Amino acid sequence: MHKALADPLRIRLVEALWETPQSARELATRTGLPADRLYYHLGQLERAGLIEIAEYRPLARGKVERVYAPVVTEPPSDAVSPQEVADFLGSMLDATRADINAAYRSRQAGGRREVDVHRGALRLTDEALAELRGHVERLAARSGDRDAPGVWTRVLVAVVDLQDRPLQGSVAPDISERPA
């Protein structure tokens, strides 16, 4: 899954499909890219189990087009390598950079797009970290419904320990008893 999303364009395609199921032709209009270029990326997302063909829409002269939609359930993430996570995060940052640039261009043209960037280091206990994760999960669950009112907003939260700490249930070595 993370490998399939290691491309900012694929992230944007999945996000567009969260809003409403669409065909490659509709996605091409939205992205400004030719539909032929999108078929490869849609295939990658489909093979990864992130999107599926929701319906076949009839076109003129007996032709049909595929309409894609996101898959509701995500594949398990327990077999993900650190490199895949890093690649995925890099793609998310690239997509976020593009969104920030688009928001500022919109502002310069008189539009309204909010951009808030917060970066900092917090000292969190295990309990405070669990509370933070719970808040983020509840917010995502409450706001992720594609039928809910509001503006689609990219939110990227990374929680990374900046220092090593003992594993759950292990005892930290007592460094005061080292031989001199």
What three-state secondary structure class fits 102? helix
The lowest-confidence range among 18-27, 120-129, 150-159 is 150-159
Assign 112 a pLDDT band (cuts: 50, 70, 90): confident
Averaged over 151-175, what is the pLDDT?
A: 71
Please state, in angstroms and as integers, the Cα–Cα distance from residue 85 to each residue in 29, 44, 88, 89, 158, following that order.
30, 17, 5, 6, 11
**112-141: b (≥16 Cβ within 10 Å) or e:** eeeeeeeeeeeeeeeeeeeeeeeeeeeeee
pLDDT at 177 over 50: no
pLDDT value at position 7? Answer: 81
Higher pLDDT, 3 or 43: 43
pLDDT digits (tens, 9 = 90+) for 28-82: 998 888 999 999 999 999 988 888 999 999 988 889 999 999 885 444 455 567 7
Torsion, Cα of 162, 165, 169, 173 (10° steps) = 180
State both tokens at 62. 């007996």
Q: What stretches of 63-105 adopt beta strand conformation (E)?
A: 64-70
Q: Chain-wide mean pLDDT for the chain?
A: 80
Averaged over 114-123, what is the pLDDT?
A: 86
